[in-house]
Amino acid sequence: MTVKPGMKQEEVYIVGHRNPDTDSICSAIAYADLKNTAEKDGRVYCARRAGQINEETEFVLKYFGIESPKYLPDVATQVEEIDIHEVPGVTGDISVKKAWKMMREQNIVTLPITTTQRELEGLITVTDIAKSYMDVYDSDILSQAKARYDSIAETLDGTILVGDGSRCLEKGRVVIGAFHPDTMEQYIQQDDLVVVGNRAEDQLCCLDLKAGCIVVGLGAKVSGSILKLADEANCVVISSPHDTYTIARLINQAIPIRHLMMKENLITFRVTDKIDDIENVMKNSRHRDYPILDKKGLYVGTISRRNLIGRHGKRLILVDHNEKSQAVLNVDEAEILEILDHHRLGSLETMAPIMFRNEPVGCTATIIYETYHEKRLEIPPKIAGLLMSAIISDTLLFRSPTCTPLDRKAAMELAKTAGIDDIEKYASAMFRAGSNLEDKTPQEIFFQDYKKFNIEDTNFGVGQISSMSKEELEFIKSALIPQLKAECGKHDIEMVFFMLTNIIDESTELLYYSNDNCERAKKLIEGAFHIQPEPESCVLQGVISRKKQLIPSFMTALQQGM
């Protein structure tokens, strides 16, 4: 795909799950680097985050000098992602005739009126122009509308012989000078615009009566002496090739469109508005086209109902998840191009086949490490540092049962590329940064790494905090229990669990709650791990992985009807 100069490149967002951990963020950044290096399809691949990053990830990004991805909380289709009709705005002083010509040439029915700074002033439609022809106007309509003399001349296909065309017809009426000069004074008043023929005496009479403008039809010649007198009297003289009837028929088309435009109760949309929202507005109005304003409130174009047909949403690549409940909001409206993950298959569906790479490794970053090698691409040192950090985080420095030999091999090679000589020392600093929970509220701790699951029609949530300090985990335990109770029942969540994982002891204290006095949650733990839980919590020795130990055990128990 070749991108033409000035053409906006299509963006593809690479994003992890809603409560991003280090793997989710680092894999998104690394895969964006890989795609931008390997692909020559005219697209730009951008890392994004679907939630707030935690302290561990902040430590990693700061350590390797990488900026945090921009926040993408919602992927609902926005106005800026559909085809906007780039109808240029016009100033309000152009004539109706010129506006009509522009609309025919561009095959449009709505013309936006803007200032030179693109501020929207109003709209004029084909219907407005048609109505203007049917309306009966007073003979002073041109002066009411402050029509410019150059617009009058242009409308009449004429030429200004004398006078300043930038002036406006401020006073007076339009009068046809088709009567004897002796009776003209009964009809012509000061400042009137008078349409006359080639008779010099009629023209002189208009000057004597202090007409503001004389329009001479049929291209008749005007003598130099009359032009001199007109100039001295500050009277504009216009020569038109048309006859009197045609001039009379055309002249109201010189009205500036500002006089006819709609300027009250305009329906406008912003480029950031969601399509679903504007569709409802369109259904309840009869307009053909709607002006679009940018983020600064300046006019950029128009859209109609036709623009909504065949629209496409944001294009996504998902990393480190494939569960709809964990994905960015309104993921159904987006076009998913790829998924890279190392978790169980979830609930996401796509409209067409996609590249879905799912491997039983401990970290999505390991899959991206493989992809770099498969494409024979060199991994930049900073990207290597991010991938290494993600593997350390997800495998708890190779202690997790999810860790594979490939994860360990990848982390060690990446450490060399990133210039990390002591991987254990780096990991210790990273874990300490991530487990610093003293300044966090219970809610912040709870949602730092919280995921929702649906198994056997059962909805439950599981959060996890890993720390190298037993005392720190004990400190936050009492603060988290009320948070479990508060979350249970929201969004159809029937049970809530929280893993307080001790990295050193390789054990987890599992907090639990369900609205039936904890009975269902307790029964699920009993069925999954064959232990008798204490009230509110239980200790699971050797269990440190939510993905490979806790969730599979829960799944087996639920399938057995526990």
CATH number at residue 328: 3.90.1640.10
Q: Where a domain ends, among 433, 468, 483? A: 433
- The DSSP line for 125-162 is EHHHHHHHHHS---TTHHHHTT-BHHHHHHHTT-EEEE
What tokens appear for 61 in the block? 């990004």
- Identity of residue 545: S
Look at residue 4 in the predicted model and tell me its pLDDT: 42
Of 290, 308, 326, the position where a domain reaches its end is 308
Regarding whether 424 and 357 lie in a shared domain, the answer is: yes
- For residue 140, is it within any domain? no
pLDDT of residue 447: 87
Of the pLDDT bands very low, low, confident and very high (cuts 50, 70, 90), residue 430 is very high
Residue 401 has pLDDT above 80, yes or no: yes
What count of other Cβ atoms lies within 10 Å of the Cβ of residue 23? 30
Gyration radius of the chain's alpha carbons = 37
Are 146 and 169 contacting, i.e. CB atoms less than 8 angstroms apart?
yes
Average pLDDT estimate for 2-18: 72
For position 42, what pLDDT does the model report?
86
Relative to beta strand 11-15, strand 315-319 is: parallel
Q: Quick check: 2 pLDDT over 50?
A: no
Element (H, E) at 249: helix 244-250
Quick one: 186 and 238 in the same domain?
yes
Question: Same structural domain for residues 130 and 229?
Answer: no
Residue bearing the bigger pLDDT, 186 or 527? 527
- The CATH number assigned to the domain holding 115 equals 3.10.580.10
Residue 141 included in any domain:
no
Give CA–CA dist 140/128, Å, rounded: 20
| Comparison of pLDDT for 470 and 176, the residue scoring more | 176
Span 23-45, average pLDDT = 95
Q: What is the CATH number of the domain that holds 159?
A: 3.40.1390.20
pLDDT of residue 77: 86
pLDDT band, very low/low/confident/very high, at 478 (cuts 50, 70, 90)? confident
> Does 341 share its domain with 418?
yes
Q: What is the mean pLDDT of residues 383-395?
A: 96
Give a yes or no: residue 174 inside a domain: yes
**What is the sign, positive or negative, of the torsion defined by CA atoms of 46, 39, 336, 362?**
negative
Show which of 394, 409, 433 is a domain's final residue.
433
Is position 349 within any domain? yes
- In the prediction, which pLDDT does 556 show? 93
Residue 139 lies in a domain: no
**Residues 264 and 129 occupy one common structural domain:** yes
**pLDDT > 70 in the chain, percent:** 97
User: Taking the CA of residue 104 as centre, how many other CA atoms within 13 Å lie in the half-sphere pointing to its CB?
Assistant: 7
Residue identified by tokens 């709650």 is 513
| pLDDT score, position 8 | 58
Q: Where are the alpha helices (DSSP H) in 233-379?
A: 244-250, 275-283, 364-374
CA 164 distance to own-chain centroid: 48
Write down the mean pLDDT value for the chain. 91
Mean pLDDT is lowest, of 11-20, 39-48, 309-318, 417-426, for: 309-318
Assess if residue 55 is contained within a domain.
yes
In a domain? residue 550: yes
State the Cα–Cα distance between residues 21 and 400, nearest whole angstrom: 16
Q: Are strands 495-502 and 458-467 parallel, antiparallel or unpaired?
A: parallel
62 plus 155 within the same structural domain: no
Question: Which position has the higher pLDDT, 467 or 45?
Answer: 45
How many residues appear in the chain? 562
- pLDDT category of residue 1 using cuts at 50, 70 and 90: very low
| C-alpha to C-alpha distances, 354 to 12, 132, 312, 365, 390, nearest whole angstrom | 14, 55, 16, 20, 25
Q: For residue 491, which of 448, 527, 447, 526 has the smallest C-alpha distance?
A: 447
Residue 312 has pLDDT above 80, yes or no: no
User: Which CATH number goes with the domain that contains 531?
Assistant: 3.10.310.20
Q: Is the pLDDT of residue 385 over 50?
A: yes
Strands 299-303 and 290-293: antiparallel
463 & 541 share domain:
yes
Predicted confidence (pLDDT) at residue 194 exceeds the cutoff of 90: yes
pLDDT range class, residue 490, cuts 50, 70, 90 = confident
Whether 477 and 544 map to the same domain: the answer is: yes
* The one-letter amino acid at 427: A
Residues 391, 20 contacting (CB under 8 angstroms): no
Do 334 and 421 reside in the same domain of the chain? Answer: yes
Q: Are residues 330 and 400 in the same domain?
A: yes
Residue-level pLDDT at 78:
87
Nearest to 448 by CA among 17, 9, 4, 1: 17
**What is the residue range of 233's domain?**
146-254
34 is a domain residue? yes
pLDDT in tens, 495-529: 999 999 988 888 999 999 999 989 999 999 999 99
What sign does the CA torsion over 357, 359, 364, 365 have?
negative
Domains contained in the chain, number: 4
pLDDT band of 3, cuts 50, 70, 90: very low
Alpha carbons 398 and 411: distance in angstroms, whole number? 9
* Co-location of 52 and 116 in the same domain: no
Q: pLDDT tens across 238-248, in order? A: 999 999 999 99
Shared domain for 385 and 421, answered yes or no, is yes
Mutual orientation of helices 381-395 and 22-38 as an angle, nearest 10°? 150
Q: Are 314 and 331 in contact (CB under 8 A)?
A: no
pLDDT tens for 62-99 read: 999 999 999 999 998 888 888 888 999 999 999 999 99
- Residue 320 is predicted with a pLDDT of 95
Categorize the per-residue pLDDT at 359 as very low, low, confident or very high, splitting at 50, 70 and 90. Answer: very high
